Every structure is written in structure tokens, then in C-alpha cells.
Structure 1
Amino acid sequence: MTDRATRVLLLEQIHPDAVEILRSNGFVVETLDRALDEDELVSRIRDVHLLGIRSKTHVSRRVLEAAPNLVAIGAFCIGTTQIDLGAATEHGVTVFNAPFSNTRSVVELAIAEIIAMTRRLTEKNALMHAGVWDKSADGAHEVRGRTLGIVGYGNIGTQLSVLAEAMGMQVHFYDTADRLALGNARRCLSLDELLGASDIVTLHVDDRPSNRNFFGEEHFGLMRPGSLFLNLSRGFVVDYGALRKHLETGHIAGAAVDVFPVEPKGRGDEFVSELRGLPNVILTPHIGGSTEEAQQDIGRYVAGKFRDFVLNGSTAMSVNVPGLTLPRAEGTLRLILLHRNVPGVLARVNGLLADGGVNVEAQLLGTSGDLGYVVTDSASGTTQAIVDQIRALPETISLRVIF
């Protein structure tokens, strides 16, 4: 594969800036506004080198087995659970995502929903549209002075912490990892401690499998009477049936939910949830990161990763491959080897190069777990026979040559 022959398939309304970046580098780009199911993807992926998706398209082992030319997948979002990362690695496919690009958008939505619930804006709005004038302060509060409990203190949780504190809120947080508290935020030693201390609880946990059914009946029961609940993280982490029960009893005064265990595939499809119909619940269609600014930034970021990977072999910030970036001298040939991380691979590669009279101009190796990734530049002498010998090594997963 050369940069001029690179074929790209972008699904699910990837931002036009991504298309422009890729096409300006000579890539052939096809776009679709919707997700593809497994059968559809299998039928279209054979000649694709780069696949760009969001959260609705699932890349299974079967899809990867049908994609002999695929070298990289870009998740134009934060999560990568929709991709079989193990199978991708086995097939020598490098995976990228955008872990930071929509952070601000999610945080701003959380702040907006907290204010909307504490001021009862959705209820007031509904009454006004029904022709009812209900000017009253009953049940309406300022957020200043209230305690916000943040579960998950990563990129989103920390930025939310800073903004909430600037608005006069007290911030408590809980995270299984050892996180540095920002500002005056206070770390809780347990989730139970946070739930008992917070007026508002908001979830910002990641998509690891262990977080499935993370928050349920027991946790809602430990929340303060009259408290508020938000989930803008992952739909599968919360028992929404238990949440409905506590909303109907009034134990939880309100909730805002942006993510769901099962979500419609496309715009206009029916949305089904046990939380529908509750007046004290704000429901949004997984739009935490859906701002024009965030989608533009995500498009540029992941497209840039694609470009740098194809043209230079850069794997910086890859999800599944050791991250390397090696500056490239003009006129060199670059070998990019993804291999099983066992002793002696680099020595065997360099031995084959030396036997062929190849002088190595620059070389960089990175390893992570069972994987090794090595980039090697040479000015001359690398023949197809040498490439075939390296590709035939039992440890080789994939080998690319960039001229």
C-alpha cells in the first residue's frame, strides 16, 4: 500500500474536515451518513485500508477477517468497545480514538443539566407551553453551595470539577485509580462515602467491561433524599429500572440521562426506555459530545492520526499498539514491523538487513505487553527478498513498506 492508493471508508457522519484532510493527502475517501451492520460491513470492507466509525458501527472478528487490506481503524469518539481490539491486533490493525476532543462539550452539557434540574426548568417550560403561568420559587435552588459528587475523575470528571467549583459548588470525587484532586475537590475513599455526601451525583466512568451494571438499586438507596443523578458516560453502567423506582417514590428528585444500554441505530428510529414519560427526567439522545466544535476537533484529530500512520508509521496515542513517532529523513525507505514481543526479534531483523548489506539510518522500537513495534529507515539496499524474509519471521504480525 502506498499513500496514493489508500482507500478510506468513513461511516456515521464523520466531520467534513476529516474528509478534506485525507483527500488532500491523496487518499480515496468514501463516506456514509449511517452505521453499517456486520453483514453490510463485511460486504464493503475488502478493499478498504482505513475504516472510520463512531459508536454505532461494531467491528467484529468476522469483519476483520473479511478485511485483508485494512491497516487502521479510527474511532471518531472516545470509546472503543465497539471494536474487537484483540482481533484487530491479531490482524495487524492499528486502532486510534479521540480521548480528549469532546471533553468540554460533555462537561458543558452536564453543567447545563444540573442547572436545569435545580431550577426545575423543564417543568416550567412544559407548563408554559401548556399555557400555565407558574411563577414560584418552590423547589428551585441555586447550584452555589451544593455538593457535586463526581464518579470517575478522568478527563471529563476533572474538567467538570474545575467548572463546578468556579460556580461555587463543593466537589467530592471517587475513582478507583489514584487521581490528583484539582482545586479544593475532596477525594472520597469509597463510592458509599461519596453518595452519602452529595446533593448531585454524576457518572463519568469508562467503558471497561467491569463497569457493566456498576450502579444499581443499592447505590440509589444510599443517595441523599431529594438528590439529583446524571449519567453521561455509558448506558450499560446503570440499572435504569432501579432509577425509575427511586424517581417515582421521590427519593431521587431528578435525573439527566444521555446514554442507554440499547440505542437506536439512526435518526428518526424509535427510542425505547423505562425512563420515558417521567416529568423530572431529562433525556438526550447520546449528544454529550455532539457539538460542531467537538465533532470538528475529533474529525481533525483522528484524520491526522490516519495520515501520520500511513505516511510515516506513527502510532502515537494508538489504543492497541505501542506508540512511536520517528522523524524521517528525506530519501529513506521505511520498514514498519508489528510483531510478537519475544526476545531476539530485533536482532533477527537487523541480522537480515546486515546480511543483505543494508545500512540502518534510524531505528526505533517500542513494546507493550505481547506486542512490539519497530520502525527502521534505510537509504538503500532494502530489496523485496529482504522484505519477504522479515515478513516470513514467525513473530511477524504485519509488515509495511513506505517509500
Structure 2
Amino acid sequence: MTKLSLSKEKIKVVLLEGVHPDAEKLFRKDGYDNIHVYNSTPNDDELQNILADTHILGIRSRTQLKGQNLDTCEKLMAVGTFCIGTNQVDLDQCKSQGIPVFNAPFSNTRSVAELVMAEIILLLRGIPEKNAKAHRGQWFKSALNSNETRGKTLGIVGFGHIGSQLCILAEAMGMKVKYYDIENKLPLGNSEAVGSLEELLPQVDVLSLHVPDTELTQEMIGAKELALLPKGSFLVNAARGQIVVIDDLVKSLKMGHLNGAAIDVFPTEPASNNDPFESPLLAFDNVILTPHIGGSTQEAQVNIANEVADKLIKYSNNGSTSSAVNFPEVSLPALHADLTRVMHIHENKPGMLERINHAFSSQSINIAAMYLQTSGDVGYVIMDVNCESSDSIVKQLNDIDGTIRVRVLH
């Protein structure tokens, strides 16, 4: 598949799901004018029509970029997920089609941590139930089940960027922090690592989840795990909806084993703000329900818009793939005005570099600089060369068995 150099005004950029306007501004500032912005999530048929001639795609968490949706997008050269997660994208299929995927793994870290900390305070004080009763005209002035955060133990599952940021906030409020992570993570402050989830659960007053959606984490917290939590404790999930078995959580709340919960993510979520939200947790006054807004602050959305748009622009302008989640990572300098940059994405197998070099030497084309990186079954080689016309070398590169994509920048 050949991708010759396109002028910026011809490169079609599509931003779906109400990506923050700063992303569009950044593209336009860099000279991209063919930008199409959608505030909603298109259905599969609409998405396939949109992708038919799209070069750069920006999505958030709802758009599913998998299977047939990817099969038909022959012009697509890069995808940006304007969020932390990338489970809505088939990363392997994108990789096999030579499409790097970029995300914003750190931009909303503070926003999520602050929401969780606020919910912990509200849960410990029994505010959700008191607030619900007040809205119904009931005056529930009582210190029953109302406690300070100071001295309580917070258990964090997943000590990554958000979990560690929450640790800092919690310790500042006087909480003791214990955490469990499948990888060895250095403790922050006075926090303490625990060897297993089963060891952590009985020790906490509040359990907060901060793990990705993987086969290991799906239904990680079910009846067995909830029973291990101390009676009167609380659960907070602002990670992924599949991590907690909601029916088991409902049973634990009905039994009075848990004193409450705060849930920001759900196994099934409405497709838009106009669709109804349904959950058995609606019946509980002591549960905080929020509509997947952990990272939904103005600050986070601005940070995400700028981070992901900048990565997409750099890849489009000069081929840099630094921090791509599914692709060989190469950080490239700006292209010198007198050179042509040829990018070759290929199956990572023996002899590829030799054949690529032979293609250039057979046409007496001098390679001024070369960059190479591989990731699993895909290789990415970039050559800055001296040549007046790239047509013949592109044809020869495409004829190499195992070539996925050739792209040229002038």
C-alpha cells in the first residue's frame, strides 16, 4: 500500500465524539484545513462511510475501531484516542495495516485522582445517603456511620499513574495507603505494597480500583473478593466497567456488608447523553453514581486534546511514532529541505533491511540518514535520501515481499 506525500490541505482529519476544540485548533495552526468534526458517535455504517477517505482519525472511548470498520479504511494512516484507554481499538489489526495508534496516558491523571479522593471523603461521611434523604425532604442529622479520613486505610489496586497520584492525595488527608500491583512498583511516601489482592482486601476501609480492562482484570471483584472486604467498608471504581461484577456488588450492599460505593464506570453505558441510564445500583442511597466522568474536566480535556493532536501531527509531518501504543517507536528530527523521507512499514522477518537497502543502491540513491525500529512482527525503517523523484523507488519498495506500507514525505 503506497502513501505518497500529500499536501496538508488534502489530508483529511476526522475528529469524533466531541473531541475538545483545541485539537482542531492545533491542526489548523499547523496548516491542516480539511478537518471534519462530529460531536456524536457514528453507527457502524456511518463510521465506514466516514473512514473511506479519512487519513487521520481522532476518537474517544465509544467509537469501536475493529473488524470491518478497519478493513475498509485503506487511506487511514494514524489514529488518536483522545483518552487513556485504547481497548476500543483493535491494536493488532491497526499494526498489521501499518496504522500507529496514539493516546494520552497521563493527561487526565489528576482529574481522576481528585474525583476519587472527593468520593472517598463523601462516602466516609455518609453524605450520599444524607443527600438523597434531604432531596426527599427528610432531615437525617446523625453522626452514625460518619467518619474522618484521617487514620483510615485506603487500598489501591493498580499503582500506576492514577493510583500513585491518589496515594499522594490520600496520605495528605491522613490516610494509610496499601496497594497491590501485578508489577513491582516503588512505594510513595509511607505507602506499603501488599503481595496479593487477597492479602490486601481484609486490611482496608476503602478499596479503589485503578487497573486497565484486560482478561486478568475482567470481573476481578466479585462475590468472593467483596466478602473479603471488612464489614462496613467501601468500594470505588473509576477504572473500567468490567472489573466489578455489579450483581455481586448489589447483593453485598443489600446484605449491609458494604456501607456504600462510588461507581463511575459500568459494564454497559448509554451511547449518548440522550439515552437512558439503567443499573440496579439506582436503588441505593449510599452509592454515588457518576456518568464516566473521572477524566472529564476542562483541564484534562485540554491536556488530552493537545497531547494527542501533537502526536498525530508529528507523525503526519515527519513520521515520528514516539509513544505509539501498538507500533515501533521512533523519534525523528525534522526533514531537511534538500532531502526526501521514505518510510517503509513491513513484516519483521529476516532479510528485510538487506532488500530495502538493495532497492536504493540499485537505483544509485544515496541514503543520508536511516532510522530503524521493530516491535513484534512489524518493522519500521525511515530513510532520508537524495533523489529528485521517488516514484521508481516507491514501486520497487512495494514489490518487496512483506511490505505493509510505503509513505513518502518531500
TM norm structure 2: 0.96
Q: 1:5 aligns with which of 7, 10, 26?
A: 10
Does structure 2 retain, via aligned residues, the 8 Å contact 1:195–1:223? yes
Structure 1 partner of 2:356: 349
Runs of 5+ consecutive residues of structure 1 not aligned to the other structure: none
One-letter amino acid matched to 1:354: S
Give the share of equivalent positions with the same residue, in percent.
45
Whether 2:371 is the aligned partner of 1:364: answer yes
Q: 2:390 aligns with which of 383, 386, 394?
A: 383
Does structure 2 retain, via aligned residues, the 8 Å contact 1:151–1:157? yes
Q: Deviations over 1:253-312 (max 9, x none)?
A: 010000011100001211111211201100000000000110111011111011000000
Alpha-carbon separation, structure 1, partners of 2:401 and 2:361: 19
One-letter amino acid matched to 1:303: A
One-letter amino acid matched to 1:264: P
Does structure 2 retain, via aligned residues, the 8 Å contact 1:161–1:182? yes
Worse-superposed segment, 281-290 or 158-167: 158-167
For 1:151-230, what aligned pairs fall within 5 Å after superposition? 151-230=157-236
Worse-superposed segment, 18-27 or 227-236: 18-27
Alpha-carbon separation, structure 1, partners of 2:284 and 2:252: 12
Does structure 2 retain, via aligned residues, the 8 Å contact 1:11–1:35? yes
One-letter amino acid matched to 1:18: A
The Cα shift of 1:124 comes to: 2.3
Worse-superposed segment, 374-383 or 236-245: 374-383
Alpha-carbon separation, structure 1, partners of 2:92 and 2:193: 34
Worse-superposed segment, 130-139 or 230-239: 130-139
Worse-superposed segment, 174-183 or 220-229: 174-183
Please give the secondary structure, in 1, of the residue aligned with 2:374.
strand
Does structure 2 retain, via aligned residues, the 8 Å contact 1:38–1:60? no
Please give the secondary structure, in 2, of the residue aligned with 1:236.
coil
Please give the secondary structure, in 1, of the residue aligned with 2:242.
helix
Whether 2:60 is the aligned partner of 1:54: answer yes
Q: 1:15 aligns with which of 20, 25, 28?
A: 20
One-letter amino acid matched to 1:128: A
One-letter amino acid matched to 1:387: V
Does structure 1 retain, via aligned residues, the 8 Å contact 2:211–2:240? yes
RMSD of Structure 2 on Structure 1 (CA) = 1.2
The Cα shift of 1:91 comes to: 1.5
One-letter amino acid matched to 1:44: I
Alpha-carbon separation, structure 2, partners of 1:347 and 1:195: 55
Structure 2 partner of 1:272: 278
Alpha-carbon separation, structure 1, partners of 2:72 and 2:113: 39
Please give the secondary structure, in 2, of the residue aligned with 1:237.
coil
Q: Deviations over 1:211-234 (max 9, x none)?
A: 211210100000000000011111
Whether 2:406 is the aligned partner of 1:399: answer yes
Q: 1:131 aligns with which of 131, 137, 141?
A: 137
Q: 2:94 aligns with which of 88, 99, 120?
A: 88
Worse-superposed segment, 75-84 or 330-339: 330-339
The Cα shift of 1:244 comes to: 0.6
The Cα shift of 1:122 comes to: 2.0
Structure 2 partner of 1:374: 381
Structure 2 partner of 1:39: 45
Alpha-carbon separation, structure 2, partners of 1:392 and 1:53: 33
Runs of 5+ consecutive residues of structure 2 not aligned to the other structure: none
Determine which structure has greater relative contact order: mean sequence separation of CA pairs < 8 Å that are 6+ residues apart, divided by chain length.
Answer: 2
Structure 1 partner of 2:31: 26
Structure 1 partner of 2:290: 284
Structure 2 partner of 1:335: 342
The Cα shift of 1:71 comes to: 0.4
The Cα shift of 1:393 comes to: 1.0
Worse-superposed segment, 141-150 or 320-329: 320-329
Does structure 2 retain, via aligned residues, the 8 Å contact 1:357–1:381? no
Please give the secondary structure, in 1, of the residue aligned with 2:408.
strand
